[in-house]
Structure 1
Protein backbone atom coordinates (compact mmCIF):
# COMPACT_ATOMS: atom_id res chain seq x y z
CA UNK A 1 0.00 0.00 0.00
CA UNK A 2 1.35 3.46 -0.90
CA UNK A 3 2.20 5.98 1.79
CA UNK A 4 0.10 9.09 1.13
CA UNK A 5 1.41 11.16 4.06
CA UNK A 6 4.91 11.56 2.63
CA UNK A 7 3.88 13.63 -0.37
CA UNK A 8 6.01 16.58 -1.40
CA UNK A 9 3.29 19.21 -1.57
CA UNK A 10 1.02 20.06 1.36
CA UNK A 11 -2.62 19.07 1.19
CA UNK A 12 -5.43 21.55 0.72
CA UNK A 13 -6.45 21.34 4.38
CA UNK A 14 -2.88 22.00 5.51
CA UNK A 15 -2.67 25.02 3.20
CA UNK A 16 -6.01 26.25 4.55
CA UNK A 17 -4.86 25.96 8.15
CA UNK A 18 -1.56 27.68 7.50
CA UNK A 19 -3.11 30.46 5.38
CA UNK A 20 -5.79 31.30 7.94
CA UNK A 21 -2.97 31.91 10.45
CA UNK A 22 -1.59 34.73 8.29
CA UNK A 23 -2.92 38.27 8.60
CA UNK A 24 -4.40 38.35 5.09
CA UNK A 25 -5.96 34.92 5.49
CA UNK A 26 -7.53 35.89 8.81
CA UNK A 27 -8.98 39.08 7.32
CA UNK A 28 -10.45 37.23 4.33
CA UNK A 29 -11.89 34.52 6.61
CA UNK A 30 -13.47 37.23 8.78
CA UNK A 31 -14.95 38.88 5.67
CA UNK A 32 -16.46 35.57 4.57
CA UNK A 33 -17.88 34.80 8.02
CA UNK A 34 -19.40 38.25 8.59
CA UNK A 35 -20.87 38.28 5.08
CA UNK A 36 -22.49 34.91 5.78
CA UNK A 37 -24.01 36.25 9.02
CA UNK A 38 -25.34 39.26 7.12
CA UNK A 39 -26.93 36.97 4.53
CA UNK A 40 -28.72 35.10 7.30
CA UNK A 41 -29.91 38.35 8.95
CA UNK A 42 -31.22 39.87 5.72
CA UNK A 43 -32.83 36.57 4.69
CA UNK A 44 -34.83 36.61 7.94
CA UNK A 45 -35.79 40.25 7.35
CA UNK A 46 -38.85 41.52 5.52
CA UNK A 47 -36.51 43.30 3.09
CA UNK A 48 -34.46 40.41 1.74
CA UNK A 49 -33.12 42.27 -1.28
CA UNK A 50 -30.24 43.72 0.69
CA UNK A 51 -28.64 40.29 0.91
CA UNK A 52 -27.39 40.59 -2.70
CA UNK A 53 -24.45 42.75 -1.59
CA UNK A 54 -23.47 40.28 1.11
CA UNK A 55 -23.72 37.36 -1.33
CA UNK A 56 -21.52 39.09 -3.93
CA UNK A 57 -18.91 40.20 -1.40
CA UNK A 58 -18.81 36.76 0.21
CA UNK A 59 -18.25 35.10 -3.18
CA UNK A 60 -15.52 37.59 -4.13
CA UNK A 61 -13.81 37.07 -0.76
CA UNK A 62 -14.00 33.31 -1.20
CA UNK A 63 -12.47 33.55 -4.67
CA UNK A 64 -9.59 35.72 -3.45
CA UNK A 65 -9.14 33.47 -0.40
CA UNK A 66 -8.76 30.47 -2.71
CA UNK A 67 -6.43 32.27 -5.09
CA UNK A 68 -4.13 33.53 -2.35
CA UNK A 69 -4.27 30.26 -0.38
CA UNK A 70 -3.21 28.17 -3.38
CA UNK A 71 -0.60 30.77 -4.47
CA UNK A 72 -2.29 31.17 -7.84
CA UNK A 73 -1.52 34.89 -7.73
CA UNK A 74 2.13 33.99 -8.31
CA UNK A 75 1.27 31.74 -11.24
CA UNK A 76 -1.33 33.89 -13.03
CA UNK A 77 0.64 37.03 -13.81
CA UNK A 78 -1.81 38.56 -16.29
CA UNK A 79 -3.79 40.17 -13.45
CA UNK A 80 -2.29 42.54 -10.91
CA UNK A 81 -3.76 40.82 -7.84
CA UNK A 82 -2.78 43.47 -5.32
CA UNK A 83 -4.61 46.25 -7.14
CA UNK A 84 -7.59 44.00 -7.88
CA UNK A 85 -7.82 43.07 -4.21
CA UNK A 86 -7.50 46.75 -3.25
CA UNK A 87 -10.46 47.69 -5.46
CA UNK A 88 -12.50 44.73 -4.19
CA UNK A 89 -11.95 45.62 -0.56
CA UNK A 90 -12.43 49.36 -1.08
CA UNK A 91 -15.67 48.99 -3.00
CA UNK A 92 -16.90 46.42 -0.47
CA UNK A 93 -16.18 48.78 2.44
CA UNK A 94 -18.01 51.71 0.85
CA UNK A 95 -21.02 49.63 -0.22
CA UNK A 96 -21.35 47.88 3.14
CA UNK A 97 -21.24 51.16 5.05
CA UNK A 98 -23.79 52.85 2.76
CA UNK A 99 -26.17 49.87 2.75
CA UNK A 100 -25.87 49.40 6.49
CA UNK A 101 -26.62 53.04 7.22
CA UNK A 102 -29.69 52.88 4.98
CA UNK A 103 -30.91 49.75 6.75
CA UNK A 104 -30.08 51.06 10.20
CA UNK A 105 -31.98 54.30 9.66
CA UNK A 106 -35.01 52.77 7.94
CA UNK A 107 -35.23 49.46 9.78
CA UNK A 108 -37.56 50.35 12.63
CA UNK A 109 -39.65 47.38 13.70
CA UNK A 110 -37.55 44.82 11.83
CA UNK A 111 -35.00 43.31 14.20
CA UNK A 112 -33.33 41.14 11.60
CA UNK A 113 -32.78 44.16 9.36
CA UNK A 114 -31.22 46.12 12.23
CA UNK A 115 -28.98 43.15 13.10
CA UNK A 116 -27.94 42.89 9.47
CA UNK A 117 -27.15 46.61 9.48
CA UNK A 118 -25.00 46.30 12.61
CA UNK A 119 -23.10 43.35 11.17
CA UNK A 120 -22.86 45.30 7.90
CA UNK A 121 -21.13 48.15 9.71
CA UNK A 122 -18.73 45.63 11.25
CA UNK A 123 -18.12 44.18 7.78
CA UNK A 124 -17.54 47.69 6.43
CA UNK A 125 -14.87 48.21 9.07
CA UNK A 126 -13.24 44.85 8.27
CA UNK A 127 -13.22 45.65 4.55
CA UNK A 128 -11.86 49.14 5.29
CA UNK A 129 -9.06 47.62 7.38
CA UNK A 130 -8.32 45.21 4.54
CA UNK A 131 -8.17 48.17 2.16
CA UNK A 132 -5.77 49.96 4.51
CA UNK A 133 -3.43 46.96 4.78
CA UNK A 134 -3.41 46.49 1.01
CA UNK A 135 -2.74 50.22 0.54
CA UNK A 136 0.26 49.96 2.86
CA UNK A 137 1.50 47.01 0.82
CA UNK A 138 1.13 48.98 -2.44
CA UNK A 139 2.87 51.96 -0.88
CA UNK A 140 5.81 49.88 0.35
CA UNK A 141 6.14 48.16 -3.05
CA UNK A 142 6.31 51.54 -4.76
CA UNK A 143 9.05 52.80 -2.47
CA UNK A 144 11.14 49.68 -3.01
CA UNK A 145 10.81 49.68 -6.79
CA UNK A 146 11.07 53.38 -7.56
CA UNK A 147 12.56 54.23 -10.93
CA UNK A 148 16.00 55.83 -10.80
CA UNK A 149 16.06 59.54 -11.52
CA UNK A 150 18.69 61.10 -13.66
CA UNK A 151 19.48 64.82 -13.29
CA UNK A 152 21.14 64.99 -16.68
CA UNK A 153 19.09 66.26 -19.59
Structure 2
Protein backbone atom coordinates (compact mmCIF):
# COMPACT_ATOMS: atom_id res chain seq x y z
CA UNK A 1 0.00 0.00 0.00
CA UNK A 2 1.15 3.50 -0.66
CA UNK A 3 0.79 6.41 1.76
CA UNK A 4 -2.86 7.11 0.77
CA UNK A 5 -4.18 3.61 1.50
CA UNK A 6 -4.45 2.45 -2.12
CA UNK A 7 -2.79 -0.84 -3.05
CA UNK A 8 0.20 -0.66 -5.39
CA UNK A 9 -0.35 -2.19 -8.81
CA UNK A 10 1.24 -5.60 -9.34
CA UNK A 11 4.05 -5.81 -11.89
CA UNK A 12 2.98 -6.88 -15.32
CA UNK A 13 3.98 -10.36 -16.51
CA UNK A 14 5.94 -8.89 -19.45
CA UNK A 15 8.00 -6.75 -17.08
CA UNK A 16 8.67 -9.77 -14.86
CA UNK A 17 9.76 -11.81 -17.89
CA UNK A 18 12.08 -9.03 -19.01
CA UNK A 19 13.52 -8.83 -15.50
CA UNK A 20 14.27 -12.55 -15.63
CA UNK A 21 16.28 -12.08 -18.83
CA UNK A 22 18.46 -9.30 -17.44
CA UNK A 23 21.55 -10.32 -15.48
CA UNK A 24 21.60 -9.75 -11.76
CA UNK A 25 23.40 -6.77 -10.26
CA UNK A 26 25.90 -8.92 -8.38
CA UNK A 27 26.90 -10.69 -11.62
CA UNK A 28 27.38 -7.37 -13.41
CA UNK A 29 29.62 -6.18 -10.55
CA UNK A 30 31.75 -9.35 -10.62
CA UNK A 31 34.97 -9.75 -12.60
CA UNK A 32 33.23 -11.95 -15.19
CA UNK A 33 30.38 -9.49 -15.49
CA UNK A 34 32.85 -6.77 -16.43
CA UNK A 35 35.35 -8.74 -18.51
CA UNK A 36 32.96 -10.66 -20.78
CA UNK A 37 31.27 -7.50 -22.17
CA UNK A 38 34.70 -5.92 -22.65
CA UNK A 39 35.87 -9.02 -24.54
CA UNK A 40 32.73 -9.00 -26.67
CA UNK A 41 33.03 -5.29 -27.52
CA UNK A 42 36.75 -5.51 -28.33
CA UNK A 43 36.21 -8.63 -30.44
CA UNK A 44 33.38 -6.98 -32.35
CA UNK A 45 35.40 -3.81 -33.02
CA UNK A 46 38.38 -5.90 -34.12
CA UNK A 47 36.08 -7.94 -36.38
CA UNK A 48 34.74 -4.78 -38.04
CA UNK A 49 38.27 -3.42 -38.52
CA UNK A 50 39.42 -6.67 -40.14
CA UNK A 51 36.43 -6.65 -42.51
CA UNK A 52 37.29 -3.09 -43.59
CA UNK A 53 40.98 -3.88 -44.06
CA UNK A 54 43.05 -5.86 -46.50
CA UNK A 55 43.70 -8.35 -43.66
CA UNK A 56 40.21 -9.82 -43.95
CA UNK A 57 41.64 -13.33 -43.61
CA UNK A 58 41.93 -12.73 -39.85
CA UNK A 59 38.28 -11.83 -39.34
CA UNK A 60 37.21 -15.31 -38.18
CA UNK A 61 39.09 -15.17 -34.86
CA UNK A 62 37.39 -12.03 -33.51
CA UNK A 63 34.02 -13.22 -34.80
CA UNK A 64 34.29 -16.53 -32.95
CA UNK A 65 35.58 -14.85 -29.81
CA UNK A 66 32.72 -12.35 -29.95
CA UNK A 67 30.16 -15.14 -30.23
CA UNK A 68 31.75 -17.16 -27.42
CA UNK A 69 31.95 -14.10 -25.13
CA UNK A 70 28.28 -13.29 -25.76
CA UNK A 71 27.29 -16.92 -25.15
CA UNK A 72 29.29 -17.12 -21.92
CA UNK A 73 27.91 -13.78 -20.75
CA UNK A 74 24.35 -15.07 -21.07
CA UNK A 75 25.32 -18.50 -19.71
CA UNK A 76 26.84 -17.00 -16.56
CA UNK A 77 24.11 -14.36 -16.25
CA UNK A 78 21.34 -16.97 -16.43
CA UNK A 79 23.36 -19.32 -14.15
CA UNK A 80 23.62 -22.13 -16.67
CA UNK A 81 26.96 -22.97 -15.10
CA UNK A 82 25.08 -23.96 -11.92
CA UNK A 83 22.47 -25.98 -13.83
CA UNK A 84 24.86 -27.95 -16.06
CA UNK A 85 27.34 -29.56 -13.68
CA UNK A 86 28.72 -31.94 -16.32
CA UNK A 87 30.80 -29.19 -17.91
CA UNK A 88 33.88 -27.94 -16.10
CA UNK A 89 33.04 -24.27 -16.64
CA UNK A 90 36.21 -22.78 -15.13
CA UNK A 91 38.43 -25.05 -17.24
CA UNK A 92 36.58 -24.37 -20.48
CA UNK A 93 36.61 -20.62 -19.80
CA UNK A 94 40.32 -20.75 -18.92
CA UNK A 95 41.17 -22.59 -22.16
CA UNK A 96 39.07 -20.12 -24.16
CA UNK A 97 40.88 -17.15 -22.64
CA UNK A 98 44.37 -18.64 -23.06
CA UNK A 99 43.84 -19.57 -26.70
CA UNK A 100 42.18 -16.22 -27.44
CA UNK A 101 45.06 -14.27 -25.90
CA UNK A 102 47.67 -16.25 -27.84
CA UNK A 103 45.84 -16.11 -31.16
CA UNK A 104 44.93 -12.42 -30.80
CA UNK A 105 48.57 -11.62 -30.05
CA UNK A 106 49.77 -13.54 -33.12
CA UNK A 107 47.27 -12.07 -35.59
CA UNK A 108 47.76 -8.57 -34.18
CA UNK A 109 51.49 -8.79 -34.82
CA UNK A 110 50.79 -10.03 -38.34
CA UNK A 111 48.20 -7.30 -39.01
CA UNK A 112 50.44 -4.48 -37.79
CA UNK A 113 53.64 -5.68 -39.45
CA UNK A 114 52.40 -7.12 -42.75
CA UNK A 115 49.55 -4.81 -43.80
CA UNK A 116 49.89 -1.08 -44.36
CA UNK A 117 46.29 0.16 -44.45
CA UNK A 118 44.85 2.00 -41.47
CA UNK A 119 42.05 -0.47 -40.79
CA UNK A 120 44.54 -3.33 -40.43
CA UNK A 121 46.65 -1.23 -38.07
CA UNK A 122 43.54 -0.36 -36.04
CA UNK A 123 42.55 -4.03 -35.92
CA UNK A 124 46.03 -4.87 -34.70
CA UNK A 125 45.88 -2.24 -31.95
CA UNK A 126 42.44 -3.40 -30.82
CA UNK A 127 43.76 -6.96 -31.00
CA UNK A 128 46.61 -6.06 -28.64
CA UNK A 129 44.13 -4.47 -26.23
CA UNK A 130 41.97 -7.61 -26.48
CA UNK A 131 45.08 -9.70 -25.75
CA UNK A 132 45.57 -7.82 -22.49
CA UNK A 133 41.88 -8.18 -21.52
CA UNK A 134 41.92 -11.92 -22.28
CA UNK A 135 45.18 -12.28 -20.31
CA UNK A 136 43.59 -10.59 -17.29
CA UNK A 137 40.58 -12.86 -17.68
CA UNK A 138 42.64 -16.03 -17.84
CA UNK A 139 44.61 -14.95 -14.76
CA UNK A 140 41.39 -14.46 -12.78
CA UNK A 141 39.87 -17.61 -14.25
CA UNK A 142 43.02 -19.57 -13.35
CA UNK A 143 42.52 -18.60 -9.70
CA UNK A 144 38.88 -19.73 -9.92
CA UNK A 145 39.99 -22.97 -11.58
CA UNK A 146 42.49 -23.73 -8.81
CA UNK A 147 39.79 -23.14 -6.19
CA UNK A 148 37.36 -25.34 -8.16
CA UNK A 149 39.90 -28.16 -8.44
CA UNK A 150 40.79 -27.96 -4.74
CA UNK A 151 37.09 -28.31 -3.89
CA UNK A 152 36.86 -31.35 -6.16
CA UNK A 153 39.93 -32.97 -4.58
CA UNK A 154 38.72 -32.40 -1.03
CA UNK A 155 35.34 -34.02 -1.75
CA UNK A 156 37.09 -36.94 -3.48
CA UNK A 157 39.47 -37.31 -0.53
CA UNK A 158 36.54 -37.35 1.89
CA UNK A 159 34.75 -40.03 -0.13
CA UNK A 160 37.92 -42.12 -0.36
CA UNK A 161 38.45 -41.79 3.40
CA UNK A 162 34.85 -42.88 4.09
CA UNK A 163 35.19 -45.96 1.86
CA UNK A 164 38.49 -46.89 3.55
CA UNK A 165 36.85 -46.51 6.99
CA UNK A 166 33.96 -48.77 5.94
CA UNK A 167 36.33 -51.44 4.67
CA UNK A 168 38.55 -51.33 7.77
CA UNK A 169 35.62 -51.80 10.23
CA UNK A 170 35.07 -55.43 9.25
CA UNK A 171 38.78 -56.31 9.71
CA UNK A 172 39.07 -54.97 13.28
CA UNK A 173 36.81 -57.66 14.84
TM-score class, shorter-chain normalisation, is 0.7 to 0.9
Distance 1:140 1:18, change over 3 A: closer
2:138 maps to what in 1?
131
**Alignment check: 8 A CA contact 1:20 1:29 kept:** no
Name the structure with the higher helix share: 2
Deviations 1:88-122 (A, max 9, x none): 111111100011011111122x0000000010011
Q: Does 1:12 align with 2:21?
A: yes
**TM-score, L = length of structure 1:** 0.85
**Alignment check: 8 A CA contact 1:107 1:113 kept:** yes
2:102 maps to what in 1?
94
**Alignment check: 8 A CA contact 1:82 1:134 kept:** yes
Counterparts of 1:4-153 in structure 2 under 5 Å? 4=12, 10-13=19-22, 15=23, 18-108=26-116, 110-144=117-151, 145-146=153-154, 147=157
- Rg larger for: 2
Distance 1:104 1:82, change over 3 A: same
Cα RMSD after superposing both structures: 2.5
Distance 1:74 1:9, change over 3 A: farther
How many residues align? The count is: 148
Q: Which runs of 5+ in 2 are unaligned?
A: 1-8, 162-173
Q: Which runs of 5+ in 1 are unaligned?
A: none
Distance 1:11 1:18, change over 3 A: farther
Q: Secondary structure at the match of 1:46?
A: coil
Q: CA deviation at 1:18?
A: 4.8
Distance 1:51 1:8, change over 3 A: closer
**TM-score, L = length of structure 2:** 0.76
Deviations 1:113-145 (A, max 9, x none): 000001001101111111100111122334455
- Counterpart CA distance in 2 for 1:107 and 1:32 is 24
Q: Secondary structure at the match of 2:84?
A: coil
Q: Secondary structure at the match of 2:59?
A: helix
Q: CA deviation at 1:8?
A: 10
